[in-house]
Structure 1
Amino acid sequence: MKSYSFQAELEIIGINPFVAVPPDILQKIFQDSGREKSPIPICGQINEKTYQQNLMFFKGDWRLYVNTTMLKNSPKRIGEIFDFTISYDSEPRIVKQPQVLSEALAKNPEAKKYLTN
């Protein structure tokens, strides 16, 4: 996939650090992904550290949320400017359900009605 580079200042909304993706790059991500609906899976680098994330539309704006896995101490780094690369990520986002949760749900008669194999 195509990769795009930009610099952005880390901002915060509520307790969540984020950066705004430049509009021209956002349009390219829409084109690459074939969608303009949240979430859009992306990957890239922040200051040369690889990340996998989703672009999210919230309160009228598209945001790339920056968590502490992506950037150590991100909530304490508001106002800093970082180098980003971003690409649409076509890899499926499948999270395996933990065994302990599967077992707990299977023991609950009400929940058991909704389990799929």
Structure 2
Amino acid sequence: MKVQKFKARIELIGINPFVFVPEEILMEIFRQSGKDKGHIPVCGSVNRRSYRQTLVRYRGHWRLYINTTMLKDSPRRIGEIVAVTIQHDRKDRTVQPHPAFEKALRENKEAKKIFDGLPASRKKEIVRYISALKTPESVSRNIDRAIGFLTGGNRFVGRDTP
């Protein structure tokens, strides 16, 4: 798969730095990924620093959002021209639920039913959050909070309701 290269000016939408991907490169990414809608996983580099990101269409334009893991101090670098490489990322990005979270859902039928009815993006948000925790204590505490959230008892991941 051929890596595409371009230079672009960092722009800002809301609080989010991004670059526009040139049309001819977008067409190649669409060809590589086999789609031109939805989220498209991409990888490459910004100023020679590797990244894995998702190419998204927002307000009619495809944008590559530039976060601080891709480019240090990216919000302060608006207007800077950066060297970008990009290609479709074929690696599986599936995050498996933490085994303790799966067990908690099996034990609480009400929470499982609500979790199963959530949009895929919301399920992914919860699974990623819990899977990224490091200590057994924080995993346990946040699984309890997640189950409480799903059953209407408390807030979780910055939300009042599932």
In the superposition, the TM-score normalised over structure 1's length comes to 0.87
Query: 4+ residue stretches of structure 1 with deviation over 6 A?
Result: none
Counterpart Cα distance in 1 of 2:51 and 2:102: 29
DSSP-derived class of the 2:32 partner: helix
1:4 aligns with 2:4: yes
- Could you say what the CA RMSD is over the residues aligned between the two structures, in angstroms? 2.0
- 5+ residue gaps, structure 2, are 117-162
Following superposition, the deviation at residue 96 of structure 1 comes to 2.9
Counterpart Cα distance in 2 of 1:114 and 1:43: 34
Q: 1:15 to 1:100 in 2, by over 3 A?
A: farther
Task: Give 1 or 2: higher strand fraction.
Answer: 1
Q: Deviations over 1:47-102 (max 9, x none)?
A: 11110011100011000011111111111111101000001111111123345654
- 5+ residue gaps, structure 1, are none
Q: Residue 66 of structure 1 aligns with which residue?
A: 66
Task: Give 1 or 2: higher helix fraction.
Answer: 2
Q: Deviations over 1:19-64 (max 9, x none)?
A: 0001111111111111101201110011111100111000110000
Q: 1:107 to 1:62 in 2, by over 3 A?
A: same
In the superposition, the TM-score normalised over structure 2's length comes to 0.65
Identity of aligned residues (%): 51
